[in-house]
Structure 1
């Protein structure tokens, strides 16, 4: 197979059949091969290609005949061949031994010779070497050895008292026919417990990797599930294959165990212009790590992703840093960031997001069409945190609580919507009460004038003019009645116009609108009904307009006659004024005019007594509605509290004793104090409001008690003097606002600060070190999410022990179903986390770059070398990682 080095830039699972037999193997079964070697090999190749096999291991019994012919044919079709053989130890335990893809048949013959077969001409005969000696020898020869069919005849676990062989540190894999769970109950559950490392007699420091590698003695057998397994490598080669078993938990999978991944992913990032001009990388769907010396551009890469998605930094410092990085590294050359992604929320569709410096992001779909989506519509759950941004968030309780709320699942969001609707209704009710009270005050002021006006009228009556001017209040009453007649006619005319505007418009049911609909005929029939309704109403409108016109016509002469009679009465009044005797220096005309004005005022105010009663009834009705709304609000807030408490408990269980969350619904009483402080209570400062913080009463309860008076306030809340006086002086509008005040929830966050398997010890987040606070938040960020998590050097503010013991373990689990991208200089994350893609940033001619040969997983030699040079860690940490790096 031609070496396609450029395509091997990230680790992925390769499907491997590791016990494939050549044509002559069937003789070991006592059968005759009916196919020629070339026909057998071709059929085997066809079956392998059909099954998606990318690597095979050849394992004839004590023979390497046929290696070269199969290898040549398979390599031509892109399948890598690890040559080898099956061999039995002196205890008759069967093993499969595989070697580098470049090993020649002659070299393999020499290795077979060194394994001291009893009869070199009969590969079925066992070796003189014990199982332990075989394992040592094969490893010394640079090969890989695994226990074949270990639960069947001649298998390592089938032969008793071989636990010392099982525990050999250089035996890294054992073959089983199916899944580990399939072994449940077999031999009293012995096999399953051994593979789960729960049998004390077979306990290993490193768990044994379970593989499926059943004998393929006929071409079609390679298609069976038990014939192959999955090995993660950057490039399919023997060196990477062997290294995979040093981290089998991450890199070795049975076909039945491979998780389906439906998460979103950033697939490619490309730069044109700017500091990272020319960088073009493809990310893994799982764990990705950008490493490099300080100043090489790790933060720049991540901040450019943030820029492309137009994500808002969570803190002011992060915003300032983001702007500086973008201006400096993208702005000078007006560079472009281009990101290709797969969106889970849009069912796996692919899009490209492009953003030039100074412009808005542009989203293009796979067909090259500009999409209406915003980048965050594609990855709504994406999380990106710059350097120190998580640390800054931990310092702010509101930011912490907002973060937690994003991970809460339940009905509380629906209750939030219901609560918002009720609060909107309460606000509308409050405004209505405010207007009604204001209108009542105005009317009350008018009505309160009536006794004084009536008394003044008596003084005029004493002058004997009442009889002469008794027509005045009657004329005023007639004017009010005339205005009411005009209002009624106008109201009918307005209703007619409104009805005209409400007529059906069936354009929305036109033939063109219905074209292609499966039930268009039904809608055409409905259109006929609406058209008939419109025609009928139009006919009625003509009649109604005529009725209104007739009313105007009939009323006109009546109004005219009434006006003439009233004018006559007014003239008679003028004459009557002349007959009024002068008094107190005022002429009869002046006295009459004053009395006339006084009587008009009295007649105008008299109806307002009824209006006042109506206003009070309206206010009573509004307060009745308000009580129902407040009760509804209580019901929703209680239901929300119950729901969110359940959500918090579920989230705490997900955190698996790492972080504990405790919610206190409506627990933030500072908002209560702040409201009262803003009311400018006379003589009442913050210290005199301490009783509010200490209490457990609601704002609406306090408002109700204030309305009851000073005695109730003193009895219920224990306040006295200045505070009581100030509270009872609060205007009604403020009490209404107080009833609507919603107190925020408080969330207690505690971190388990113990290491290992010791009993959990939780400490509140405010009592933790900076590193521990950030660890608590990071545990939340690592919870299930279908969109990527991108972090810039999270280790800067993390406790290193927590990274190694907890964060890395969670990463290894979470990366199976979520994409991560970290910029880091801490070896624990990419090495222990077993990053599928590691990109090494370097600088040349003041430009950042990630060369092709400097990206891939830790099984790429150049990446190993650079990772050892760049990633920080002391001697002890390096020694622990040495084996993973592949160093001696």
Structure 2
């Protein structure tokens, strides 16, 4: 990704109407009394570039703040990499967010509230770590893709399994029918007349019966073939619909013409295949009609022969009809048996494909955890001994437990105690294997429940294997601060202590623009001088920093490249001073706004002397 910085911010309308500032690719400090628009400037930059907050609540508050100060105006931000510039503008009435070209690394923005509270939420702590990893977004995309494939294949496998299970009771009758047929055939032999005429007609009837069964089997085969082709037709149509939606979704941020050409060519081939499949279905239906016509002719001929045979020998016709009915039943069940064998092979193929997708999902998650672990170790090494950052992998069980509850809800199984017990003692991949193999004995031992109850639970879980295979056990980031000689967990810290943990972490972002609103609130001057200033200076030449502040140490000791002073008359904020730290007007502004005036500064200096 290109290392960008904000080169210009312009505002037309609203509270900061007329603002037009050019920023340096270094430390830029924005000073001014409260209510002059310092935080508003930051929120307008966030709004213009459509940069979300670090939590859902902060995103909502930031958006409301920006809209309130912009009103009917427009904010424009220019990003630069030193050679090329990228211009973005946005108004409150603009429903669409600006299209940011892929490959551009946007600024990281932290409001005062976010600095104070981001570490209190598990999601906030994870985002704090993930912001250091430029590959995290692609890993999320890969994870979503693999999970989608797993869920789709699991639904298809479940459909085939259900179809096979539904026919098991029917197929159980097949041995009995074959035995009955044998009995009927023995009886038929006894009832056959010695007359050559009867024998001849019976032979013809038997021949017609065999021809009829062969035709029926062929018709069943054609029906099965048509069903398979229709399924392929639906899959091709579904692919084209998905391809169309993905194409629309990626139009705005994907500009590789060669790859797009390959996708378009693939789509064209799929459409061509779809047309051929439709033609195949049409031909198959025509073939079926022809076979049914021949079958009708055989039926008529058989009926005529059967009438003649019945008239020659009473009883022979009845047994013949029984044999015919039994043979038809047997032919139907054998057709189902063949169909089930095909379905079993399909299930095996789909299962292998799903297992590959599950392996891919696991690799993505392992890679993400490894990258997070690496960031945590780097941060700890840089910030020790005061601050420790470490990762507990797969430790958040809430989503997993909720999936189990959703699976068992409405089944009559009491899940209030069972769901937490499963989530805390059986990993999702183990539960997946137990349910897929219906190993209720092992499951009952693991949970110390009856085998009957274990079987009921696994039966329900087996219906939702795709959901189970994709559930995420999120990592947990642990932040600790050395307070005296004892490390304290982040949740036990005061607001000021939380800031002394979060600020050093976010200031480790050395290769992207970093914007922080009033970082000095809730922390003492010793921390500002010893830690915050050194962290700001360490970013010199690596990434742009924009800081709003009331503390003179930040621009002065931080050796700011540029200082801007905001004033307000109560209805509008504006830049009153802007320049280098050495500028006399900037010195005067810092002395007046941040030190209480030169006289106050001299008195404090005299006091310390």
Structure 1-normalised TM-score?
0.52
Counterpart residue number, 1:443: 167
* Separation in structure 2 between the aligned mates of residue 421 and residue 824 of structure 1, nearest angstrom: 44
Cα distance change, pair 791–721 in 1 and its aligned pair in 2 (3 A): same
Shift of 1:679: 2.1
Counterpart residue number, 2:154: 430
Counterpart residue number, 1:499: none
RMSD of aligned Cα (Å): 4.7
Counterpart residue number, 2:500: 775
Describe the SS at the equivalent of 2:394: coil
Describe the SS at the equivalent of 2:157: helix
Counterpart residue number, 1:52: none
Shift of 1:401: 0.2
Query: Unaligned 5+ residue runs, structure 1?
Result: 1-261, 363-372, 495-544, 755-759
Counterpart residue number, 1:474: 210
* Separation in structure 2 between the aligned mates of residue 823 and residue 632 of structure 1, nearest angstrom: 45
Q: What is the total number of aligned residue pairs between the two structures?
A: 537
Note if contact 1:354-1:361 (Cα within 8 Å) is conserved in structure 2.
no
Note if contact 1:838-1:857 (Cα within 8 Å) is conserved in structure 2.
yes
* Separation in structure 2 between the aligned mates of residue 489 and residue 444 of structure 1, nearest angstrom: 22
Counterpart residue number, 2:393: 665
Note if contact 1:263-1:818 (Cα within 8 Å) is conserved in structure 2.
yes
Cα deviations by residue, 1:247-288 (Å, 9 ceiling, x for unpaired): xxxxxxxxxxxxxxx952222222222222222222222122
Describe the SS at the equivalent of 1:746: strand
* Separation in structure 2 between the aligned mates of residue 623 and residue 423 of structure 1, nearest angstrom: 14
Cα distance change, pair 721–387 in 1 and its aligned pair in 2 (3 A): same
Pair 1:867 & 2:607 matched: no
* Separation in structure 2 between the aligned mates of residue 609 and residue 659 of structure 1, nearest angstrom: 67
Of residues 304, 307, 327, the one that matches 1:571 is: 304
Describe the SS at the equivalent of 1:795: coil
Greater relative contact order (CA < 8 Å, ≥ 6 in sequence): 2
Aligned pairs (5 A) from 1:486-505? none
Describe the SS at the equivalent of 1:871: helix
* Separation in structure 2 between the aligned mates of residue 383 and residue 710 of structure 1, nearest angstrom: 51
Counterpart residue number, 2:241: none
Pair 1:712 & 2:442 matched: yes
Cα distance change, pair 428–826 in 1 and its aligned pair in 2 (3 A): same
Counterpart residue number, 1:843: 568
Note if contact 2:139-2:368 (Cα within 8 Å) is conserved in structure 1.
yes
Shift of 1:716: 4.2
Query: Unaligned 5+ residue runs, structure 2?
Result: 193-201, 231-278
Pair 1:607 & 2:343 matched: no
* Separation in structure 2 between the aligned mates of residue 375 and residue 306 of structure 1, nearest angstrom: 13
* Separation in structure 2 between the aligned mates of residue 324 and residue 667 of structure 1, nearest angstrom: 35
Cα distance change, pair 817–624 in 1 and its aligned pair in 2 (3 A): closer
Note if contact 2:217-2:335 (Cα within 8 Å) is conserved in structure 1.
no
Counterpart residue number, 1:279: 19
Note if contact 1:265-1:285 (Cα within 8 Å) is conserved in structure 2.
yes
* Separation in structure 1 between the aligned mates of residue 395 and residue 414 of structure 2, nearest angstrom: 23
Counterpart residue number, 1:336: 74
Describe the SS at the equivalent of 1:269: strand
Of residues 25, 34, 38, the one that matches 1:298 is: 38
- Where is the helix percentage greater, Structure 1 or Structure 2? 2
Of residues 349, 363, 370, the one that matches 2:84 is: 349
Counterpart residue number, 2:462: 732
Describe the SS at the equivalent of 1:817: coil
Pair 1:310 & 2:20 matched: no
Note if contact 2:579-2:586 (Cα within 8 Å) is conserved in structure 1.
yes
* Separation in structure 1 between the aligned mates of residue 524 and residue 309 of structure 2, nearest angstrom: 103
Q: Which moved more, 1:312-321 or 1:301-310?
A: 312-321
Note if contact 2:27-2:562 (Cα within 8 Å) is conserved in structure 1.
yes
* Separation in structure 2 between the aligned mates of residue 383 and residue 818 of structure 1, nearest angstrom: 11
Shift of 1:397: 0.8
Counterpart residue number, 1:818: 543
Pair 1:751 & 2:464 matched: no
Cα distance change, pair 646–577 in 1 and its aligned pair in 2 (3 A): farther
Shift of 1:295: 1.8
Counterpart residue number, 1:650: 378
Aligned pairs (5 A) from 1:161-180? none
Which has the greater radius of gyration?
A: 1
Structure 2-normalised TM-score?
0.72
* Separation in structure 1 between the aligned mates of residue 530 and residue 568 of structure 2, nearest angstrom: 33
Aligned pairs (5 A) from 1:265-664? 265-331=5-71, 334-343=72-81, 348-359=83-94, 374-375=99-100, 377=102, 379-408=104-133, 423-450=147-174, 470=206, 473-480=209-216, 482-483=218-219, 564=297, 567-576=300-309, 599-620=327-348, 622-623=350-351, 641-642=369-370, 644-655=372-383, 657-664=385-392
Describe the SS at the equivalent of 1:700: helix
Note if contact 1:577-1:592 (Cα within 8 Å) is conserved in structure 2.
no
Pair 1:855 & 2:578 matched: yes
* Separation in structure 2 between the aligned mates of residue 831 and residue 624 of structure 1, nearest angstrom: 64
Describe the SS at the equivalent of 2:86: strand
Note if contact 2:155-2:466 (Cα within 8 Å) is conserved in structure 1.
no
Cα deviations by residue, 1:832-858 (Å, 9 ceiling, x for unpaired): 32323222222237222212xx22344
Describe the SS at the equivalent of 1:778: helix
Shift of 1:407: 0.8
Note if contact 1:315-1:392 (Cα within 8 Å) is conserved in structure 2.
no
Of residues 651, 675, 680, the one that matches 2:408 is: 680
Note if contact 1:388-1:796 (Cα within 8 Å) is conserved in structure 2.
no
* Separation in structure 1 between the aligned mates of residue 431 and residue 487 of structure 2, nearest angstrom: 36
